[in-house]
Chains A and B, each alone.
Chain A
Amino acid sequence: MGPFFAAAAAGELRIQACAECGRLRHPPRPVCPYCRSFSSEWRLMSGRGTVWSYVIPHPPLLPAYADVAPYNVVVVTLEEDPLIRLVGNVVAAPDAPLNSADAADVTIGLSVEVVFPPPIEDVVLPRWRVLDVK
């Protein structure tokens, strides 16, 4: 299991960063595209972000996904860097199914925070819930 998913299993959102120039990059890869360093570290994120775009898939889908369709898939831009975007889902609660969020709530620009659902087999897939505006 790679560092991203190991961190998620520990309840942390970590993104790869260059250990020399410091720039974040995602998806992870061996070499920093900015300074060509092979040294990297896994930096802890705040877990807050903004929905950049979203789709609502309908069948035909793989069976486990068809069972909960229609559901949302979002791309979330992280607060730390506008170029770091993660694919995920907006859910009502960490352990709630993919179709648990009110579809009308999912819009571009929505503020979200990361949640960590129970593992599927041994993998924790970070998802998102609407950030409470206090």
Chain B
Amino acid sequence: MAPGEVDGLCSYTMEATEEVDIARNLGLGDITFFSQVGYGGGAGCGTVGHAAMAVATGQARTVVAWRSRKRGSGQRPWASRVGRLPAPIAWTRPWGLLRPVDEIAMLTRRYMHEYGATRDHLANVAMNCRAYANRNPNAVMHDKPMTRDDYMNARWISEPLCLFDNCLETDGALAAVITSTERARDLKQPVVTIHAFGQGIPQQHQTMTNYFNDDPLMGPSYACAQVLWRQADVTPADVKVAQLYDAFSPLIPLSWEGYGFCERGEGKDFDRVPYNTSGSGLSEAYVHGFNLINEGVRQLRGTSTGQVDGADVALVTSGEGVPTSALLLTKGR
């Protein structure tokens, strides 16, 4: 496929590179559809979902969804000290709840209290992702094994979360090309089908600091899961591999529960489905979750370094704790 065939573009509202710059640099064709999805890491699967809807409705024929980010260098987003704080962070940051890790640690402590989760459960997540990264030559942490002792002895960032509960900070860029099944069949790469797509903002949700409704541990994944499974011909029992958004390790148990793989409080022990098989945000790279989408595609093409035998249905999720999105991808024909 030649770049001139591309007539649609989707990215995140936080994306710094504009559509016109991508189109001018790559020599794309006339762009007839472009959209941006909001809420940081919640946007990832949304960009692919919007692209699929554009192709399905005829607004575009071939769409590029992408995310590029410079996070390995420069100021951290939370470190700005300019001006007075707007709502909603005016209600949290002055008391020293400064960073995303502090905001998620608050929910994590409550989750541990309600369901008896421990640091060992979080270590399981960090070690799972690291072990897959050790098999992936493109992972930032490819050459760095992690033991349970490494995890337990790591420095605190925001108790109960330590260094290895946090994703990496990475400069990187990723993209996916979305077109019709008919067109995809003509191309070199095996077809991967966008089987279902969802977005979700639950009632009375507040981004990241979701402490102000009746069930703060019931996050955006619950709302997103409703439409995702309603649109699908498969169920959680059919999913062979998952790529779950992991800016922080506790998002994994919350996501298993939110997407219906187990009951409330059981996500900490859930181990039926292999997950985050590239090393993901914790150990491959953190590019706002877009690398999870690419890894989901690789699994269905049989080209992952953490390949799951017989992978024919993959779940990919975007940021939990913010208005979010998810995809079910299937092996195409």
Residue numbers of A with Cβ under 8 A of B are 26-28, 33, 52-58, 60-62, 65, 70-71, 73, 75, 82-89, 98, 108, 123, 125, 127
Contacts and interface: CB of A to CB of B under 8 A. Distances in A.
Interface of B: 76, 79, 81, 87-88, 90-92, 94-99, 102, 105-107, 109-110, 113, 155-160, 204, 206, 209, 211-214
B106 A85 contact: no
Contacts of A33: 204
B106 A73 contact: yes
B94 A125 contact: yes
B90, B96, B157 — most chain A CB neighbours (10 Å): B96
Contacts of A85: 211-212
30 contacts: A26-B91, A27-B88, A27-B206, A27-B212, A52-B211, A53-B107, A53-B110, A55-B97, A55-B106, A55-B160, A56-B156, A57-B157, A57-B159, A58-B155, A58-B158, A62-B98, A70-B156, A70-B159, A73-B95, A73-B97, A73-B106, A75-B106, A83-B213, A86-B91, A87-B91, A87-B209, A89-B95, A98-B96, A108-B110, A127-B95
Given A58-B156, A83-B214, 20 more contacts: A27-B87, A27-B206, A33-B204, A52-B110, A53-B211, A55-B105, A55-B106, A55-B109, A55-B159, A57-B97, A57-B158, A57-B159, A58-B155, A62-B79, A70-B156, A87-B95, A89-B96, A125-B94, A125-B95, A127-B95
Contacts of A26: 91, 212
Indicate the member of A27, A52, A86 with the most B CB atoms within 10 Å. A27
Nearest to A126: B95
Nearest to B80: A62
A98 B109 CA distance: 19
Contacts of B76: 60
A10 B106 CA distance: 29
A52 B97 CA distance: 15
Contacts of B98: 57, 61-62, 65
A108 to B, nearest CB: 5
